Amino acid sequence: MVFASMARDVARALVPVACAGCGARDVRLCEECAAPWWEDPQRCEADAPRLAREERVALPVWTVVPLEGVAHRAISEWKDRARRDLDPFFCAAIGRAAQALPRVAGDVAVVPCPSRPRSVRRRGTDLPLLLASAVRRSLAAGAIAASLEPVLSIRAGDSRRASSARRWETTSIALKRRPAAPTALLVDDVVTTGATLARASDALEAAGIAVVAALTLAAAQPPGVRRPAGLGWESGRREVGHLLGRGGGASGA
C-alpha cells in the first residue's frame, strides 16, 4: 500500500494529473466538469445535416452531452492528447446512456463506427470500439441479447481537414462481414455533420440490417442552439418502437 502511494506521488510529480475539463490539479475530472455526463441522453439528429435524406426518416441519434464548454475540452483531451485515464469514465457515461435508450426487441448488434488506422495508432486505442464494448456490456446487463460487431471499415484519409461537403463526398464505409443479429445500434464518439453515421447506416442497411438508432458521447450543435437534456425522448421511444414493431419502453438499469 505504501509503495503504491509512493509510486502514484512520483508519477504525479513527473506527469501531473489535471481535470480534463477545467485543469484543476490532482483530479481526472472534477465533480463540476463530470456532472453533465450523468444527465439523460438527448436526441441530436436534427443538428446533423448529413442524416437528413429525401423521403426517409432521419436515423434517431442520442448523445450524452453537447460538444461545448468543459465537455468539449474533456473530449479533446481524451481524443487528441491521448488521455487514456479517461477511458473508464467515458465508457461508464455511455454505458449509463445505453440503459436509458428505448428497449430493443430481440438480438441487437452493437456496431462501432470504424476508425482510421492512423487514428488508432496515434491514440493507442480504437475509441468507438472501446465505447461500443461498454454499450454491449450495459445492454447485456439489462438482459438484452447484444453482441459486439466491429464489421465496418473506412477508407483512409483525414476528414478533420476537409470541409463538411468534401467530407461527405469522400467518406467511404464498407461492410466487412454481415453481423449475426438482424438489428443494429451504431456507436461513435462524436457526431458533427452526421456523415459517418449516415454512411455506416447505409452500409448496414444495404445488407438487410435494420439500423434502429445511434448513440454517441457528444454532438456538435449549430451556433446559438441550447437543447435541454432529454429533448425528444418520448417521440424517440415511439419512433424506435415503430421500427422494431413494438411500443417503445425504457430499459431498466
Please report the sign of the dihedral spanned by the C-alpha atoms of residue 100, residue 104, residue 109, residue 112: negative
Q: What is the pLDDT of residues 21-44, one digit of tens each?
A: 999 999 999 999 999 999 999 999
pLDDT at 16: 62
pLDDT at 25: 93
Domains of the chain: 47-222 (3.40.50)
**Predicted model pTM:** 0.80
pLDDT at 168: 57
- Helices 127-141 and 87-100: crossing angle in degrees, nearest 10, is 50
pLDDT at 166: 62
pLDDT at 33: 96
Quote the distance between the C-alpha of residue 80 and its chain's center. Answer: 16
pLDDT at 12: 41
Which stretches of the chain drop beneath a pLDDT of 50?
A: 1-2, 4-14, 227-253
pLDDT at 103: 81
Q: What is the pLDDT of residues 199-212, one digit of tens each?
A: 999 999 999 999 99
Q: Which long-range contacts (CB under 8 A, 24 or more apart) does 246-253 make?
A: 246/105, 248/102, 248/103, 249/102, 249/103, 250/100, 250/101, 250/102, 250/103, 251/99, 251/100, 251/101, 251/102, 251/103, 251/139, 251/142, 251/144, 252/99, 252/142, 253/96, 253/99, 253/142
pLDDT at 221: 80
Q: How many residues does the chain have?
A: 253
Please report the sign of the dihedral spanned by the C-alpha atoms of residue 119, residue 148, residue 140, residue 202: positive
